[in-house]
Amino acid sequence: MKIAIITDSSSGIPNISAVKDLFLVPLMISKEDGSQVADDESFKSDEFYELNDSQILKTSQSVPGMMMSKWDELLKEYDQIVCILLSKGLSGQYNTCKMLSKEDEYNGKVFVADSNGVSTVLRIQVELALKLANEGKTGEEIEKAIEESNDKFSLLIIPKSLDQLVRGGRISKAAAGLAKFLKITPILSYDGKIDKHGKERTFKKAIEESINHLKEFGKNTFIDVSYSRIDAEHLEVVKNLIKDAGFEIRLFDELPNTVICHTGRQTVALATWKK
């Protein structure tokens, strides 16, 4: 059986077009004037940051017609399709695609996994799906395996700067000003949706606390790191703290644009998985 895997741009996987049997249907980024940009491989990083610095951007799910056209195209070559998309806790992407997959022409051919994923978490789930497809698993079996992995990860997000959270209205200027005065760095948790995990007095301490949490959670030897643009000095601090704690760095990638729209520059995310 020949199976195609589809993901969206929240996975942050570079050069998707170069990966056999993996395909991208991009999420959309909305400008203040209401126009949209497809967050695909042609939308370069410098172009995104220039746009993000100049205005408040919003994100929206893939255009349903674009997703269905990709299904139609792939089903001419593949027997089944498995979609591994942004968590339903962050977007309507999953629910829309799940509904569309029940249409007669797609039922039993297109499987939409409830991934709970974003960034490196979604990337690992996509890699698992590709591995299982290569082993001869069916779309239904791959969907089940992805959904069974949903409670096996822990991801923490540490925004060094609160500027983007203020611009987007997710934190008040007064609260951000107080946090800056007290040198407080928040730690956000992600388990399919984003929530408050804790806070520390400095960025370094927030990274240390996050590493300690991941050590207790996973009992594992590696941490996956994703980040938005941040000065090299602070990125080196992150690397050294991880290594000093006895971890290896497995993945080291930039955060997806769709995450940076909400957290902004100078954000680091750390994740690990249960053994």
CATH number, residue 23? 3.40.50.10170
Q: Give the pLDDT score at 56.
A: 87
Q: Give the pLDDT score at 183.
A: 63
* Regions of the chain with pLDDT less than 50: 170, 174-176, 178-179, 181-182
Same-domain status, 209 and 239:
yes
Inter-residue contact 190 to 169 (CB < 8 Å): no
Q: Give the pLDDT score at 167.
A: 56
How many structural domains are present in the chain? 2
Domain boundary, last residue among 148, 168, 186: 148
Q: Give the pLDDT score at 186.
A: 85
Same-domain status, 168 and 263:
yes
Inter-residue contact 267 to 157 (CB < 8 Å): yes
**H helix or E strand, kind and range, residue 146:** helix 139-148
E strand intervals along 145-236: 153-159, 185-190, 194-200, 222-227
Same-domain status, 111 and 134:
yes
Q: Give the pLDDT score at 162.
A: 64
Q: Give the pLDDT score at 275.
A: 77
Domain that holds residue 66: 3-148
Q: Give the pLDDT score at 166.
A: 57
Same-domain status, 112 and 186:
no
E strand intervals along 87-132: 110-117
Same-domain status, 35 and 59:
yes
Domain boundary, last residue among 109, 131, 148: 148
Closest C-alpha among 143, 137, 65, 145 to residue 110:
143
Structure tokens at 67: 């997703």
Question: What values do phi and psi take at 236, rounded to 5?
Answer: -70, -35
Q: Give the pLDDT score at 239.
A: 97
Any idea what the CATH number is for the domain that residue 217 is in? 3.30.1180.10
Q: Give the pLDDT score at 175.
A: 46
DSSP 62: P
Question: What values do phi and psi take at 22, rounded to 5?
Answer: -115, 135
Which one-letter amino acid corresponds to residue 131? K
This prediction has a pTM of: 0.91
Closest C-alpha among 96, 153, 161, 164 to residue 119:
153
Same-domain status, 207 and 141:
no
Same-domain status, 190 and 144:
no
Same-domain status, 183 and 62:
no
Q: Give the pLDDT score at 197.
A: 85
